[in-house]
């Protein structure tokens, strides 16, 4: 909270904080904002509260568009689910989708009639989920390896540094494509793990350098003289002091992870369909941009990606200014 207030005080970072706040809000409350099921409904003599989240079996196969015989219903602001195609909404229009923005679909629909806004909101959830957990894993692994490598030095350091160099020289996208072809599940975790376990190198290098610097400082020597165990020295004295730079890399890492996820989804290797993802929308945009000219499939996800990356980067800058003591 204190950190947030400090960031808010940084005027340059304020727009970024607002943009990210909206994005995180959309991601967290995605089910309340855009869903095929309503916020609340009374139908068949039963009242359902937040069926958009609880998804009761009684409403299976029904949606806000097709629910009949309701006594009352509170709709979600966007009455479409992210994966709801025209097979479920039953919409009929002159031509086939994609349909442009209008009163029913504010940002238009994709090639199978799914609402673009609903997909963007739920896509934010996917993007942020992947980005945050990727960075957590990367930071965890990076701090461990960097800390051990820097503190122990010698042969351990040599081995771990070579491992780090090997990881850095690996062409990341190719590695991920290969890895994702081998892993076979429908959940987001393989993607998160794949991204996290390849993105720890920056953190590790940074932590190692910090630890190398810190371990010769007096307070560390003092701790050692007092008989503190290596584990205690690393976890209580070295890593907490290396945290500042790590925080900066981590924010930039979020931006990089969002982009990587989009790139992989663009290549068709991201989240399993029909899960919404920004990159998946761009794939469709690539096919439909000129003929028949579905610009909305490119522009809106493009804006979301650009805004996210810019905001996170601006935030990273602000954090860096704080850590460096303000420039």
Contact residues: another protein, CB under 8 A: 57, 60-61, 83-88, 95-97, 111-114, 173, 177, 181, 184, 186, 259, 262-263, 266-269, 272-274, 279, 282, 285-293, 295, 298, 302, 305-306, 309
300 close to 2: Cβ distance less than 8 angstroms = no
Q: Whole-number minimum distance, CB 177 to another protein, in Å?
A: 7
Closer Cβ to another protein, 5 or 184, answer by number = 184
Smallest gap from Cβ 226 to another protein, in A, equals 49
> Least CB distance from residue 11 to another protein, whole Å?
27
Closest contact distance (angstroms) between CB of 259 and another protein is 6
- Measured from the CB atom, the residue of 88 and 207 that comes closer to another protein is 88
Please say which residue, 187 or 229, places its beta carbon nearer to another protein.
187
End-to-end CA distance of the chain: 23
Q: Which residues of 166-183 are buried (b: 16+ CB within 10 A; e: fewer)?
A: ebeeeebeeebeebbeee
In angstroms, give the least distance from the CB of 252 to another protein.
13
The answer to whether 23 touches 128, Cβ cutoff 8 Å, is yes
Which CB atom, from 100 or from 274, has the smaller least distance to another protein?
A: 274
CB of 17 to another protein, least distance (A): 22
**For residues 37, 41, 42 and 47, what is the CA-based torsion angle, rounded to 10 degrees?**
90
Judge residue 229's burial from the number of C-beta atoms within 10 Å of its C-beta, 0-12 exposed, 13-18 middle, 19 or more buried.
Answer: exposed
Minimum separation from the CB atom of position 159 to another protein (A): 32
H-type alpha helices, the chain:
2-9, 14-28, 30-33, 51-54, 86-89, 116-152, 154-169, 172-182, 189-196, 201-214, 218-225, 230-232, 239-266, 278-288, 296-323
Buried b / exposed e over 88-127, threshold 16 CB at 10 Å, is bbebeeeeebbbbbeeebebbbbbebbbbbbbbbbbbbbb
Could you please report the per-residue DSSP string of 49-103? ESHHHH--GGGTT--TTT--SEEEEE--SB---TT--HHHH----SSPSP----S
Closest CA to 283 of 309, 308, 301: 301
If the CB atoms of residues 210 and 261 are measured against another protein, the closer one turns out to be 261
Q: Which is nearer to another protein, 88 or 234 (CB)?
A: 88
Of 204, 307, 309, 299, give the one whose Cα is nearest residue 257: 309
Closer to another protein by Cβ: residue 186 or 229: 186
Nearer to another protein, 15 or 96 (CB): 96
Q: How far is the CB of 287 from another protein (least distance, A)?
A: 6
Nearer to another protein, 24 or 112 (CB): 112
Write down the least CB distance from residue 25 to another protein, Å. 23
């Amino acid at each position: 909270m204190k950190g947030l207030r400090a960031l808010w005080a940084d005027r340059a970072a304020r727009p970024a904080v607002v943009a990210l706040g909206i994005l995180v809000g959309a991601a967290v409350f995605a089910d309340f904002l855009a869903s095929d099921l309503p916020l609340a409904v009374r139908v068949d003599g039963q009242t359902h509260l937040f069926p958009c989240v609880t998804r009761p079996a009684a409403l299976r196969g029904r949606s806000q568009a097709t629910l009949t015989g309701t006594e009352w219903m509170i709709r979600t602001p966007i009455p479409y689910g992210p994966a709801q195609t025209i097979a479920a909404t039953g919409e009929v229009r002159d031509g086939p989708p994609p349909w442009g923005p209008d009163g029913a679909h504010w940002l238009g629909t994709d090639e199978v009639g799914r609402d673009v806004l609903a997909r963007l909101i739920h896509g934010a959830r996917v993007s942020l989920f992947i980005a945050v957990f990727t960075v957590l894993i990367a930071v965890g692994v990076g701090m461990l390896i960097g800390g051990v490598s820097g503190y122990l030095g010698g042969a351990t350091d040599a081995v771990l540094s070579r491992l780090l160099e090997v990881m850095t020289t690996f062409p990341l996208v190719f590695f991920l494509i290969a890895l994702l072809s081998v892993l076979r599940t429908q959940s987001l975790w393989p993607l998160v793990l794949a991204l996290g376990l390849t993105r720890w190198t920056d953190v590790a290098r940074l932590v190692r350098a910090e630890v190398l610097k810190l371990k010769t400082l007096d307070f560390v020597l003092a701790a050692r003289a007092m008989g503190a165990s290596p584990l205690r020295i690393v976890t209580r004295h070295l890593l907490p002091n290396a945290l500042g730079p790590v925080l900066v890399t981590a924010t930039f890492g979020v931006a990089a992870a969002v982009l990587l996820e989009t790139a992989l989804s663009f290549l068709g290797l991201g989240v399993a369909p029909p899960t919404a993802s920004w990159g998946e929308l761009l794939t469709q945009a690539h096919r439909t941009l000129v003929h028949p000219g579905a610009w909305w499939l490119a522009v809106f996800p493009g804006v979301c990606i650009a805004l996210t990356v810019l905001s996170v980067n601006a935030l990273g800058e602000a954090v860096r200014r704080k850590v460096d003591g303000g420039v």
